[in-house]
Amino acid sequence: MFLVVGLGNPGQAYEKNRHNIGFMAVDEIVHRHSFSPWRSKFQGQLSDGVIQGQKIIALKPETYMNESGRSVQAAMAFYKIKPEDVIVFQDEIDLAPGKLRVKRGGGHAGHNGLRSIHAAVGPNYARIRMGVGHPGDKAQVATHVLKDFAKADAEWLEPMLDGCAEYLGDIMDGDDSSFMSKVAQKITPNRPNAPRLDKDPSGA
C-alpha cells in the first residue's frame, strides 16, 4: 500500500497557484485511475484506488502548507504505511518550469510543506519535485508561489500532470529514472526529424 500526497493550500483562492501543483498532480492521478470520490479524513481530502494491483491512498492535506505533516502522519498511522511507501508531489522553485526530479531522503531545502512532513515522520519518503521556477529574488518567493499559473504554462503543465498520473507505477517500483525520462518525454516530445541518440552522428 502506498500513500500519495499532494501539497498545496485548501480553498478556491489557492487552487490555481504554483504552490498547489502537488494538489493538481494528485487530482490527475485520482481522475485517471478512477479512484473513489474525495472524502474528508485526517485533516484533509482522501481518495483511494488501485494501480498495478497495489492499493493507493491519495491525500490532499487541508491544514495549509506549513502543517501538512499532521495530516500525513495521521494517515500513515491509520493505514500503517512506512515512510518509504509515501510519495509526495510538491512545487520546486529551484527547478525551471517544466522540469521534474525525484528525490528520496535528504533535506527539505526550506520547503515549508516538506519541513512539516520531515518533523512529523522523518525524511525517508519519496518526493516528486515539480519545477515552477524562481522569481530571481528571495524576497519575492512567497508572492511567486502564491500566484496562479499563467495561461502559457499549460503547454508544459498539462503534459507534466498527465505524465505523473500515467507513470506513477514507476515510482512505486522504485524506478525513478524511468519515471523522470517518461514524464520529460511527455513534456518535450522528440521532434520527428531530431537525430536519434543511439546512432553515431557521423553516420557510421
- Domain assignments of the chain as residue spans, ordered by start: 2-187
Q: CATH second-level architecture of 2-187?
A: 3-Layer(aba) Sandwich (3.40)
Q: What is the pTM of this model?
A: 0.90
Cβ atoms of 122 and 82 closer than 8 Å: no
Dig out the grid coordinates for 198 from the structure.
543511439
Helix (H, G, I), strand (E, B) or coil at 5: strand
Q: Helices 154-166 and 176-187: crossing angle, nearest 10°?
A: 150
Active site residues: 19
Q: Per residue of the chain (204 residues), give pLDDT as tens.
A: 999 999 999 999 999 999 999 999 999 999 999 999 999 999 999 999 999 999 999 999 999 999 999 999 999 999 999 999 999 999 999 999 999 999 999 988 889 999 999 999 999 999 999 999 999 998 999 999 999 999 999 999 999 999 999 999 999 999 999 999 999 999 987 655 544 444 444 444
Cβ atoms of 117 and 71 closer than 8 Å: no
Backbone φ and ψ for 180, nearest 5 degrees, come out as -65, -40
What's at 23, amino acid-wise?
A: F
